[in-house]
Chain A
């Protein structure tokens, strides 16, 4: 069964590289088939956002059953750490966005210390100056936040907000399967399942890193590449790595060093 995905493309899109944008939406819609892998889907989404919207980094956070945000996907390691910093210090635009359900943006974080006393200095220290935080919304429920960062201070661009929001909506569609659009009680379970897939991938990164003597980021690149090339769902491959089952034998073997 394929999901019918209708995406309203904002008018500003015409001003951008039409072909590249169209290609991205087709790629994302194509991923949304039955049995698609959510972790992989969200990583493709944040990576494409960085390219399309000409931002420096993107991150996506989801709320768990405790109502706390968890980092689900990020385009780079430093943005993951910055997202984590917000959560640990309970301070930052993504949290404000999640709590209010409204977009939050700032054109220059070097002058945002009053608003985010802990986040603003940390973000500028990490090299980021502009932020857009966009809500992930399903009807009345806010399920997470989608965040875009840029290294230069710049005017807040409406097209970034509009297209970014369209991307956030696509991410929400990916998270929420068809049946939950009728039974919203199920949403909490799907979010839990999504977050658990993410944890599984982290455990697999650790297993692979230790087996092959590499760092977890390189382990993730290896895991994703192998899943793509061998047509495995990322989460299923991660489970095989963690369980040491046969699907992952080649990947775990230290005698096959040049895998891609």
Chain B
């Protein structure tokens, strides 16, 4: 597998599915494609709540919904750990003693419900915590590295869709996720930090504002970011940009 084409393959599979269904690309289509391609029983996307509980925004099946709801009810589980700041959690078999001990309430009930393997990836961009992508399997399973690499691409694209939706960027025909175009230069993240101070908002909101502005001005994100870092553009009085 050539490395550079992984994101193209994944995005191609998502758009092909959307086309076949005659619907626009959405988080739901992304999750269903992930379930198919990764041979996973169920996929869930959970977004980071503020002070209230996290929000389950997309599930492919009843099993995944049950598993996510179970974690919220019990207050423990791998998705909650990832939302709390943990890096990826890869569980080959929830029935193993280590996991039964780690999540004494959740693990036995999850196994009873019919789930054995769970892989949860964070939807993170530095300090921006968007949520988590959870993959459930009804038998013990260790995802091979290529599958796991694809899962990370699904997670990255899911976060892109979430951010673009928040930034009011329409996902219609010809939409290409920004992360695909180039590797993101450091300036994009530096500009995000600067804008968060200028506007007194979180880095997540700042990133959304930066993307919305780039989209509105029809400029590449990296180019706009360079202007912010060079202090040619400020966001606290946008009209002067």
Identify the A interface with B (CB < 8 A).
Answer: 63-71, 80, 84, 87-88, 184-189, 192-193, 196, 199-211, 216, 238-239, 242-243
Chain B residues whose CB sits within 8 angstroms of the CB of A189 once the complex forms: 87-88, 90, 121, 148, 152
Q: A66-B156, A84-B185 are in contact. List 6 more A-B contacts (CB 8 A).
A: A202-B193, A204-B193, A205-B190, A209-B190, A209-B229, A242-B193
Contact at A199–B126, with CB atoms within 8 Å? yes
Q: B127 to nearest A CB, angstroms? A: 4
CA distance A196 to B128 in the complex (A): 10
Chain B residues whose CB sits within 8 angstroms of the CB of A80 once the complex forms: 186
CB-based nearest A residue for B122: A196
From the candidates A65, A209, A216, A243, name the one contacting B152 in the complex (CB within 8 A): A65
B192 at the interface (CB under 8 A from A): yes
Q: B87 to nearest A CB, angstroms? A: 5
CA distance A209 to B193 in the complex (A): 8
B144 at the interface (CB under 8 A from A): yes
From the candidates B2, B144, B195, B198, name the one contacting A185 in the complex (CB within 8 A): B144
From the candidates B143, B186, B191, name the one contacting A71 in the complex (CB within 8 A): B186
Contact at B127–A211, with CB atoms within 8 Å? no
From the candidates B145, B197, B198, name the one contacting A184 in the complex (CB within 8 A): B145
Contact at A206–B152, with CB atoms within 8 Å? no
Contact at A67–B3, with CB atoms within 8 Å? yes
Q: A207 to nearest B CB, angstroms? A: 4
CA distance A205 to B192 in the complex (A): 10
Contact at B197–A211, with CB atoms within 8 Å? yes
Interface size on B, residues (CB 8 A): 39
Q: A156 to nearest B CB, angstroms? A: 28
From the candidates A66, A186, A188, A207, name the one contacting B193 in the complex (CB within 8 A): A207
Provide a sorted-by-A list of 14 A–B residue pairs whose CB atoms are within 8 angstroms.
Answer: A64-B183, A65-B153, A66-B7, A80-B186, A188-B145, A188-B148, A189-B148, A202-B126, A202-B186, A205-B189, A205-B190, A208-B193, A209-B193, A209-B194
Chain A residues whose CB sits within 8 angstroms of the CB of B193 once the complex forms: 202-210, 242
Contact at B125–A68, with CB atoms within 8 Å? no
CA distance A71 to B187 in the complex (A): 12
Chain A residues whose CB sits within 8 angstroms of the CB of B196 once the complex forms: 203, 206-207, 242
Q: Which residues 93-141 of B have a CB within 8 angstroms of A?
A: 121, 124-128
Q: B150 to nearest A CB, angstroms? A: 8
From the candidates B7, B127, B152, B191, name the one contacting A188 in the complex (CB within 8 A): B152
Chain A residues whose CB sits within 8 angstroms of the CB of B142 once the complex forms: 185
Q: Which residues 67-103 of B have a CB within 8 angstroms of A?
A: 87-88, 90
CA distance A206 to B230 in the complex (A): 11
Can you list, as one digit per residue, whether each of B195-207 has a CB less than 8 Å from chain A (1) or not (0)? 1111000010000
